[in-house]
Structure 1
Amino acid sequence: MKSDAATSTDAIGPGKNHYVILDGLRGVAALMVVIFHLFEPFSFGDPQRQIVNHGYLAVDFFFLLSGFVIAYAYDDRWGDMSVGDFIRRRIVRLHPMVVLGGVFGALLFAFQTSSAFPKIEGNSAGYVIAVMLLGFTMIPLPKSADLRGWDEIYPLNGPQWSLFYEYVANILYAIGLRRLSNRAMATLVAAAALALLHLAVFGPRGDLIGGWALDFNGIRIGLSRVIFPFFAGVLMKRLGARIRIRHAFAIGSLLLVAALSLPRFGGPDHLWLNGIYEAGCVILVFPLIVALGAGQKTVDGASVRVARFFGDLSFPLYITHFPLIYIYTAWVTDARPGAAEGTLVGVALLFTAVTIAYVSLRFYDAPARAWLASRLLRRTR
């Protein structure tokens, strides 16, 4: 019972405006991730029963957003910025919350004992601390080092796996792939789309779930899921892919929520139908949504201000909510609550997760990034 989460796409450099609608869409996706995880324990491992069935595709949407925003922020700055400068900027942006997420996961680990986690008992406090410290370095752990039996490379905060592949894509971009011509980039993106389609349609599950295990299949899934969307986002920004329409935020949000919420297709006898749907979402629907969101940089209105708020919260929400989900999953698995009780506790958990994300952003993440930036970064245009 495992799924995905969003990744940060906030990479805008000094002197550049944010794409406000894209920020808002990032917030919508982050909320959908938490909602997906709240429903997940009630499927009891059966993806056919999952409500908000394709919520794990939010991570693929975030990879696409990340590539687009990285290209916008950095493509024209390599004349006075080194690879080291770029990597330091990404560390400043991402790593304070990586550390906090690991600490939060370690602190809540003792409350997660459950039959849902077959390996959780017998882990010493010293071992948990060692796993936490390794997580700070982004070193992925093998299956033998897992804490609960879910084969997670970051077992205190499972969704950190997508940050690992975000770093992989960022490094590939910085050390060479940014130099590709648009034609060469398009060739790479097309080949990656075929690999993604093959994984979704011919994989054993008929979906894109996975990427958090340190084995051949897990690495294949992780790379397949990041290479296409990230570099498709880079290519979209270079080609100026954008659609100008009214109410772009509302339309994009509705498309995104629908894509992540529809029931599973094909049933257990025709898994390939679901694979076609999920590949279609990542290859066609998500780029359409990003093009809608990129149509305007500066928009205003009450709904967009609310969306911007959740966009700011999206990364803290992603990196801190899952230790709560472990506890919720343990409770659902062992107590088997009714619908009313499960809903009440789930809503309370959602409110708690958003509150923790806000407090983390306001009092830790923003100050920590500012402190690190003042010491690690030199000014570039």
Structure 2
Amino acid sequence: MNATSTATSTTAIAPAKSHYVLLDGLRGVASLMVVIFHTLEAYAGGNPIKQIINHGYLAVDFFFLLSGFVIAYAYDDRWSRMTQWEFYKRRLIRLQPMVIMGSLIGAALFYFQQGPVFPLVATTPVWKMLLVMLLGCTLLPLPVSLDIRGWQEMHPLDGPAWSLFFEYIGNILYAVGFRKMSNRVLTVFVLLAAGFLVQLAVFGPRGDMIGGWALDATQLHIGFARLLFPFFAGILLMRLGKRIQIKGAFAICSLLLIVALSLPRFGGTQHHWMNGLYEALCIIVLFPIIVAIGAGEKRADGLSIRIARFFGDLSYPLYITHYPLIYIYTAWVIQKRIPPAQGAIWGALLLVVAVSIAYACLKLYDEPVRRWLSRRFLTRAA
């Protein structure tokens, strides 16, 4: 385990408490895979079988697992000197500034996305877009009546914010009761949540974990299935203290994660259960192993630490700010029928721009704002 004590850590961990730098780095690797997945998604035509990086959306489930692990490590031993409200303040300070920035960037780029792919953009009045932007800053899920794009997203200006909505739900559940559960009771819950996840992935109509971003019964079912097992399995994994020590852990974990998110879809159009089984095994078996390896590394070399810390710092800003660029890129590729060879050049440029925007947001906005909010609203006793 490698320590760092910056007040603007990307994790929930207090400055005085060491944290797992390699896990931060893996979060960054997953964020990069999400951007690449979303960029290439423009060529799939809505058909998951044609996805070039097919399982990139499972990065969200990996994020939930990491979040549960980090939340338990950061807060399990602090409740005797911290109230629930103090916990909520810390989580809001950690996450909400970039939620607001993602909504603002989405609003700034919204009208650049108009065209046949997003028919509602051109007819959306500015007042309605601004209303959606303000509501997006609160992370409240929006009903279909406020859909201004046509994809029925609960956050139409910044699609990935749906996972932050479920992240908040996981945090609230932890604070109001799950933190008090014994490991035995939590194990039973995690096993039940695993069954809930398998039911959706293996026996569901699609054979995958895609979804969770709309405010309707089907999408909420998917969202909770994707949240409950990995988030609380992460908590259980931390409490059980299971670690795997392997030399070169960051490189090995990064490779495992990249391969898992990149393999082609299994089973074709006839055997959806095969793909669902693969994705369930990734979330239930492989991802906990990756986290156990990342948490077990105690003597990573200096280069691995520097790379992991950079990716870790960048991960959340990149994840929450890149999608407005994806909207523009997707509309351009589909409307102009851009071939993959030509689109790859602009896709690479999109990645560079997305990383640059994320890094600028991190250094010029997110870290300063969180420092100010921490000084202003967090008590020293906590």
Name the TM-score class by shorter chain.
over 0.9
Q: CA deviation at 1:303?
A: 3.5
Q: Name 1:321's counterpart in structure 2.
A: 322
Q: CA deviation at 1:321?
A: 0.3
Asked if the contact 2:111/2:122 (under 8 Å) is kept, the reply is no
- 1:294 is paired with a residue whose SS is helix
Map 1:172-183 onto structure 2 (within 5 A): 172-183=173-184
Amino acid at match of 2:63: F
Map 1:232-251 onto structure 2 (within 5 A): 232-251=233-252
More displaced stretch, 272-281 vs 288-297: 288-297
Structure 1 stretches of 4+ with a deviation exceeding 4 A read: none
1: distance between equivalents of 2:153 and 2:304?
A: 37
More displaced stretch, 336-345 vs 155-164: 336-345
Q: Name 1:130's counterpart in structure 2.
A: 131
Q: Name 1:142's counterpart in structure 2.
A: 143
Q: CA deviation at 1:41?
A: 0.4
- 2:367 is paired with a residue whose SS is helix
Asked if the contact 1:22/1:293 (under 8 Å) is kept, the reply is yes
Deviations 1:13-71 (A, max 9, x none): 13111201111111110100000011000011111110110000000000000000000
> How many residue pairs were aligned?
374
Amino acid at match of 2:28: G
Asked if the contact 2:43/2:340 (under 8 Å) is kept, the reply is no
Asked if the contact 1:19/1:298 (under 8 Å) is kept, the reply is no
Q: CA deviation at 1:308?
A: 1.6
- 1:86 is paired with a residue whose SS is helix
RMSD after superposition:
1.2
Map 1:136-285 onto structure 2 (within 5 A): 136-285=137-286
1: distance between equivalents of 2:158 and 2:82?
A: 32
1: distance between equivalents of 2:85 and 2:65?
A: 23
Q: CA deviation at 1:298?
A: 5.7
1: distance between equivalents of 2:368 and 2:94?
A: 11
Deviations 1:63-95 (A, max 9, x none): 000000000000000000000000000000001
Runs of 5+ consecutive residues of structure 2 not aligned to the other structure: 1-8
TM-score normalised according to structure 1 size: 0.96
Deviations 1:212-259 (A, max 9, x none): 110111111111101100000000000001101111111111110010
Map 1:333-344 onto structure 2 (within 5 A): 333-344=334-345
Amino acid at match of 2:51: Q
Amino acid at match of 1:30: S
Q: CA deviation at 1:121?
A: 2.5
Asked if the contact 2:40/2:52 (under 8 Å) is kept, the reply is yes
Map 1:60-99 onto structure 2 (within 5 A): 60-99=61-100
Runs of 5+ consecutive residues of structure 1 not aligned to the other structure: 1-7
Asked if the contact 1:20/1:297 (under 8 Å) is kept, the reply is no
Deviations 1:177-223 (A, max 9, x none): 11000000000000000000000012121100000110111111111
TM-score normalised according to structure 2 size: 0.96
Q: Name 1:4's counterpart in structure 2.
A: none
Amino acid at match of 2:139: M
Amino acid at match of 2:365: Y
2: distance between equivalents of 1:14 and 1:24?
A: 18
Q: Name 2:357's counterpart in structure 1.
A: 356
Q: CA deviation at 1:311?
A: 1.1
2: distance between equivalents of 1:136 and 1:300?
A: 40
2: distance between equivalents of 1:32 and 1:197?
A: 24
Q: Name 2:37's counterpart in structure 1.
A: 36
Q: CA deviation at 1:341?
A: 1.4
Asked if the contact 1:200/1:278 (under 8 Å) is kept, the reply is yes
More displaced stretch, 18-27 vs 232-241: 18-27
State the percentage of identical aligned residues. Answer: 61
Asked if the contact 1:20/1:298 (under 8 Å) is kept, the reply is no
Amino acid at match of 1:192: A
Q: CA deviation at 1:299?
A: 2.9
Asked if the contact 1:26/1:62 (under 8 Å) is kept, the reply is yes
2: distance between equivalents of 1:308 and 1:324?
A: 25
